[in-house]
Amino acid sequence: MLLFLIRRLLLIIPVLFGLLLLTFFMLRLGGNDPAAIMAGDNATPEMIARIREELGLNQPLVVQFWDYLVSVLRGDFGVSLFSQRPVSEDILDKLPATLELTLVALVIATVLGILLGTLAGVWRNSIFDHSVRIVSVAGLATASFWFAIMLQLVFAMGFEILPLRGRLPTGMAPPPDITGMYIFDSLVTGHFAITWQAILHIIMPAVTISLGGVATVARFTRSAVVASLQSEYANYEQAVGYPRHRVVFPYVLRNSLVTPVTQVGLLFGGFISNAVAVEAVFDWPGLGSYLVQAIFTSDYQVVLAVTLVIGAIYGVVNILVDMTQGLLDPRVAEKM
């Protein structure tokens, strides 16, 4: 298991290298000249040329890539052209907000998806099953920014039971900084009033992001449960007197989780890209809004660094997913 973990962690390195290579050249061959944007609208060609020289932008691209790679390996992601702060500081500021949001969305998608999928599979072709199917098709087809605005209209403006935007009410100080994730930090330090507010604020954006995930997990769980209930071992378990509820839980369910869990890992990437739009709607100060802003201003150092960080998180999440599969299925664990 340990060897598997090390091997998988090492495998992330070439993946990230490829990601960086691709993003770097796509950005730089895209036609935008960062020097021109930095210099502003009224810049003279001489000023632009000077900036280009200062930033090393007049070097061949391959050399620039090599220089960038070396500085990244030293932990230096450069300085944001826009905020004039080191990119790594900006990211450390914004990452926890996005991480908290996507992790909560992941929990919602997993728990709710597995619950709905299992019940739909057990009560196959019932009204409940059909409802879940309809709702999940709708969930997959819904644009998240639209859904986000609808949630705001109904729950924040209409019923006024959930806060409209942000991570905490204005004026409330964030909890002592441990991870930067408010729910976790406030729980650990005992600031439960903040926990409650943080949960209220995260509900709508997290639900919006998880929507497609709930639908995907529910559908995969359902079909796995249906297949597993028809399997020889489920027949055997009934024939030797297991009560029906035991056949379903844990015996059938544990067999049915392998596919949905794989999906959860794949979904995580989608969650982060969803977060870009959803963070904008809910004014959530995360990486998503930061990245959008960077793309609009051709702040290529930021785009590269954020892409790299998201890629690394994605890789780690999928290693965790594979390890969960090992816990679920001993045959998988043996191959690790």
Residues of this chain that interact with other proteins (CB under 8 A) are 231-233, 235-243, 246, 250-251, 254-255, 328-331
Nearest approach, Cβ of residue 219 and other proteins (Å): 21
Rounded distance between C-alpha atoms, residue 117 and residue 302, angstroms: 40
Name the residue nearer to other proteins (CB basis): 131 or 235: 235
Give the bridge partners for 79, in sequence order.
86
Name the residue nearer to other proteins (CB basis): 173 or 239: 239
Name the residue nearer to other proteins (CB basis): 155 or 242: 242
Of 174, 221, 215, 220, the closest CA to residue 193 belongs to 174
Cβ atoms of residues 132 and 116 within 8 Å? yes
Name the residue nearer to other proteins (CB basis): 64 or 238: 238
Nearest approach, Cβ of residue 233 and other proteins (Å): 4
Nearest approach, Cβ of residue 322 and other proteins (Å): 16
Nearest approach, Cβ of residue 334 and other proteins (Å): 9
Indicate the Cα dihedral angle 300, 302, 308, 312, nearest 10°: -170
Nearest approach, Cβ of residue 242 and other proteins (Å): 6
- Residue 298 burial (10 A CB sphere; 0-12, 13-18, 19+): buried
Name the residue nearer to other proteins (CB basis): 59 or 324: 324
Name the residue nearer to other proteins (CB basis): 261 or 302: 261
- Residue 175 burial (10 A CB sphere; 0-12, 13-18, 19+): buried
- Angle formed by the axes of helices 192-229 and 182-189, nearest 10°: 120
Rounded distance between C-alpha atoms, residue 166 and residue 197, angstroms: 11
Cβ atoms of residues 72 and 233 within 8 Å? no
Nearest approach, Cβ of residue 239 and other proteins (Å): 5
